[in-house]
A and B are shown apart, each in its own frame.
Chain A
Amino acid sequence: MIYRIFRKELLDTLRDRRTLMTMLVIPILVFPITLNIFMEISSSFQESAGDKTMKIGIVGDNTRNYTKQLEAIPASVGPKTMEVFKDSLTLRKAIEKDQIQLGLIIPANEKQLVAQQQTIDLNWLLDASEVGRSERAELYSSSLKANAEAKRLQALKLRPEQIRPVIINTINCASDKKMVGQLAGGFLPYIFIAFGFIGCMYPAIDLFTGEKERGTIETLLTVPVLRWKILFGKMMVVVSSGMLAASCALLGLFISIEFLDLADNQELLEVIHSILTPKFILSMLALLLPLVIFFAGLMIPIAIYAKSFKEAQSIITPLNIVVVLPAMVGFFPGITLDITTVFIPVVNVVLATKALIAGTLSLTYFLSVLGMMCTLATLAILVSQKQFGKETNLLL
């Protein structure tokens, strides 16, 4: 009988355009659209910053030498023009008016410092809020620095190794998978949890408050079926909807990577492929299922209590923030799954998913999170059942 109720409610839900949008369409499209927009904007900014002609203003001693050095830098770094200024104040004003994009201030005693083999302080003036200017200044600086160092070594008749006794390198021992897990691991569970919640929301309101509002609950409760069976049939639809929304978000991500070439880095693509294995997907869905049941168990008592769709929506929508905020914990570095976080709902699933992506989730922690969430899901079901049994909640 539970299955019969589930079938009917699912059919009814799948015919609701609003639910279909939040359950299927938006989750599938969110990744391709947002990633595409992000990549387009990011690359167009980079391209425009790289193609833009930078006017460089130079002021100070020996400007001819520095102009020559800058002119010698290949145009592939970016087109540029140069202008010599009499004083730094005029140069600063020109930068503020964006007549000049980069200003190079050379010390007034530059020739003397070179002759005495002293350190020369070169200063760049720029508007750092503009995209690409700091990067361009960095490129020019490294070139000027290399030239100055080469000249100094030549004057001292030294080889570079003689003044560089040690080179210290840092070698990253973390696997690429772990790095991706650390960088993107917080983002993925956040998205899945958010969609799991939103996916539950409309069916929960529609199947409980909506049924009260439309006056269909009265007839349903007169049939010879136990109320908990009616509740379970409906709850299964709410949970399926949440799981479907989260799965569709995963599908959308897969489509973005595989078919829209949004991750054009071959190495990164290989890492992503090694993460998105059937084992990973099943483990993640196993973590997500009790969480979605927990969400359904939070929403259903509210939906049963509310007298109108609007009232239910006004209570459940702020709950979204309460639930989704802890999911942001995944964005912070240093917070990992431990004996405390394993007992914090939502946070534990986020951290477990993050560890799952990085390939560092131990079986003990996986089972602990699963156990914790199953306990909460059971409690949520019991609360829903209690609320569904109250006659004052069911009849308007």
Chain B
Amino acid sequence: MITVQDLHKTFSLTKHQRKELHTDARTATAVANLSFTCKPGRIFSLLGPNGAGKTTTLRMLATLITPTSGQITINGINALEHPQEARKHIGFLTGSTGLYARLTPLEIIDYFADLYKVESKDKEARKKYLFDLLNMNDFLHQRIGKLSTGMKQKVSICRTMIHDPSVIIFDEPTSGLDVITAENIIQLIRSCKEQDKTVIFSSHIMSEVDLLCDDLAIVHKGALKYHDTMDSFRTNMGSNNLTEEFIRIVQSPTA
């Protein structure tokens, strides 16, 4: 379960950034007063155009960066006061995630299992389960640098799931992937829902959101424009299709 209350994030702008953005402001607001809840067994989608503040929000949820103000609780743990404790419950996967090219999948999975302090007995069982599930056994001992994009994506998924997290955060997970590789991610998100895990994923592709999500939040310029269930979104649509409705909401002056 993820609960977000009045989440706010501002960044200080360097001289160079002010020049680039043609602004005199010394700070930029990436996220403004965002509040929502992601429930277990449901898939929550954070939808928004590029630069809407999706990645910043998810990075705050993953405790990578600290909010300027607001509250985040992960499975009842205050993530700002106890980030180490919260991290034990989180699995984080982004579309731009890299892997250590000089290591093998087995070495990477062992490393992250150790970092998450997975007990040795559980580690072996978990590895076997994931390797079989993702069909990874044939390339476990090959260096990451020599693997295909699809194989690397499987390793990333395995790394995210090795500690059996109950909250999974996906930041544009299918970005830059071909259809077949993206399908692995779609399957993973569905399987997480079946296992009653809390899933939040960000995207700017409406079709992907339509395919997967149960609850939806639309953000634009850091602010929440829409927050309801996907069923409600479909029912109350004022446009002909989902993409048009998404654009209409983003461009509307108020939520």
Q: Residue A222 contacts which of B11, B66, B87, B96 (CB distance < 8 angstroms)?
A: B87
Judge if B73 is at the interface, Cβ distance under 8 Å: no
Which single residue of chain B is at the shortest CB-CB distance from A215?
A: B98
**Contacts known (A218-B64, A392-B11); A224 close to B159, Cβ less than 8 A:** no
Judge if A315 is at the interface, Cβ distance under 8 Å: no
A222 close to B64 (CB less than 8 A): yes
What is the CA–CA distance of A200 and B62 in the complex, to the nearest angstrom?
32
Residues in A whose Cβ lies below 8 Å from that of B97:
215-216, 218-219
Q: Residue B62 contacts which of A4, A11, A215, A222 (CB distance < 8 angstroms)?
A: A222
Q: Residue B59 contacts which of A1, A220, A395 (CB distance < 8 angstroms)?
A: A395
Interface centre among B62, B87, B92, B102 (most CB of A within 10 A): B102
B6 to chain A, nearest CB (A): 20
Judge if A226 is at the interface, Cβ distance under 8 Å: yes
B96 close to A215 (CB less than 8 A): yes
Q: What 1/0 flags go to A1-37 for Cβ under 8 Å of B?
A: 1001100100110011000000000000000000000
A101 to chain B, nearest CB (A): 61
Judge if B228 is at the interface, Cβ distance under 8 Å: no
Judge if B88 is at the interface, Cβ distance under 8 Å: yes
What is the CA–CA distance of A8 and B115 in the complex, to the nearest angstrom?
11
B115 close to A4 (CB less than 8 A): yes
B101 close to A223 (CB less than 8 A): no
A395 close to B65 (CB less than 8 A): yes
**Contacts known (A223-B112, A392-B11); A216 close to B90, Cβ less than 8 A:** no
Judge if A225 is at the interface, Cβ distance under 8 Å: yes
Q: Residue A391 contacts which of B66, B100, B111 (CB distance < 8 angstroms)?
A: B66
Which single residue of chain A is at the shortest CB-CB distance from B55?
A: A395
Q: Residue B92 contacts which of A5, A219, A395 (CB distance < 8 angstroms)?
A: A219
A223 close to B98 (CB less than 8 A): no
Judge if A77 is at the interface, Cβ distance under 8 Å: no
What is the CA–CA distance of A150 and B103 in the complex, to the nearest angstrom?
82
Judge if B207 is at the interface, Cβ distance under 8 Å: no
Q: What 1/0 flags go to B157-195 for Cβ under 8 Å of A?
A: 001000000000000000000000000000000000000
Q: Residue B63 contacts which of A11, A15, A222 (CB distance < 8 angstroms)?
A: A222
Interface centre among A15, A222, A392 (most CB of B within 10 A): A222
Q: What 1/0 flags go to B46-76 for Cβ under 8 Å of A?
A: 0000000000000100111110000000000
B59 close to A4 (CB less than 8 A): no
Residues in B whose Cβ lies below 8 Å from that of A224:
84-85, 87-88, 115-117
A40 to chain B, nearest CB (A): 39
B15 to chain A, nearest CB (A): 14
What is the CA–CA distance of A220 and B92 in the complex, to the nearest angstrom?
10
A8 close to B111 (CB less than 8 A): yes
What is the CA–CA distance of A16 and B101 in the complex, to the nearest angstrom?
10
Residues in A whose Cβ lies below 8 Å from that of B159:
219
A216 to chain B, nearest CB (A): 4
Q: Residue B99 contacts which of A1, A216, A221 (CB distance < 8 angstroms)?
A: A216
Which single residue of chain A is at the shortest CB-CB distance from B14?
A: A392
What is the CA–CA distance of A347 and B159 in the complex, to the nearest angstrom?
47
Judge if B244 is at the interface, Cβ distance under 8 Å: no
Size category, B interface: 20 to 34
A132 to chain B, nearest CB (A): 54
Q: What 1/0 flags go to B140-162 for Cβ under 8 Å of A?
A: 00000000000000000001000
Which single residue of chain B is at the shortest CB-CB distance from A392?
A: B11
Judge if B196 is at the interface, Cβ distance under 8 Å: no
A225 close to B115 (CB less than 8 A): yes
Judge if B202 is at the interface, Cβ distance under 8 Å: no
Judge if B45 is at the interface, Cβ distance under 8 Å: no
What is the CA–CA distance of A225 and B96 in the complex, to the nearest angstrom?
22
Which single residue of chain B is at the shortest CB-CB distance from A225?
A: B115
B94 close to A218 (CB less than 8 A): yes
Judge if B107 is at the interface, Cβ distance under 8 Å: yes
Judge if A214 is at the interface, Cβ distance under 8 Å: yes
Which single residue of chain A is at the shortest CB-CB distance from B89?
A: A224
**Contacts known (A218-B64, A222-B90); A11 close to B114, Cβ less than 8 A:** no
Residues in B whose Cβ lies below 8 Å from that of A5:
115
Residues in B whose Cβ lies below 8 Å from that of A16:
102
**Contacts known (A4-B114, A392-B11); A223 close to B65, Cβ less than 8 A:** no
B100 close to A12 (CB less than 8 A): yes
B103 close to A395 (CB less than 8 A): no
Tell me the A227-268 residues at the B interface (CB within 8 Å).
none
What is the CA–CA distance of A214 and B97 in the complex, to the nearest angstrom?
8
Residues in A whose Cβ lies below 8 Å from that of B101:
214
**Contacts known (A15-B102, A395-B64); A218 close to B92, Cβ less than 8 A:** yes
A4 to chain B, nearest CB (A): 5
A390 to chain B, nearest CB (A): 10
Q: Residue A216 contacts which of B62, B84, B85, B98 (CB distance < 8 angstroms)?
A: B98
Which single residue of chain B is at the shortest CB-CB distance from A219?
A: B97
Residues in A whose Cβ lies below 8 Å from that of B112:
219, 223
Which single residue of chain B is at the shortest CB-CB distance from A7?
A: B111
Residues in A whose Cβ lies below 8 Å from that of B92:
218-219, 222
Which single residue of chain B is at the shortest CB-CB distance from A17?
A: B102
Residues in A whose Cβ lies below 8 Å from that of B103:
8, 11-12, 15
B58 to chain A, nearest CB (A): 10
Which single residue of chain B is at the shortest CB-CB distance from A391?
A: B65
Which single residue of chain A is at the shortest CB-CB distance from B63?
A: A222
**Contacts known (A216-B99, A392-B11); A4 close to B85, Cβ less than 8 A:** no
Residues in B whose Cβ lies below 8 Å from that of A226:
84
Write 14 A-B pairs (CB below 8 A) sorted by A numbering.
Answer: A12-B102, A12-B103, A216-B100, A218-B64, A218-B96, A222-B90, A223-B112, A223-B116, A224-B85, A224-B88, A224-B115, A225-B84, A395-B64, A395-B65
* Among all A-B residue pairs, the 6 with the closest Cβ atoms: A215-B98, A214-B98, A15-B102, A224-B87, A223-B115, A222-B92
* Residues of B participating in the A interface, judged by any CB pair closer than 8 Å: 11-12, 59, 62-66, 84-85, 87-88, 90, 92, 94, 96-103, 107, 111-112, 114-117, 159
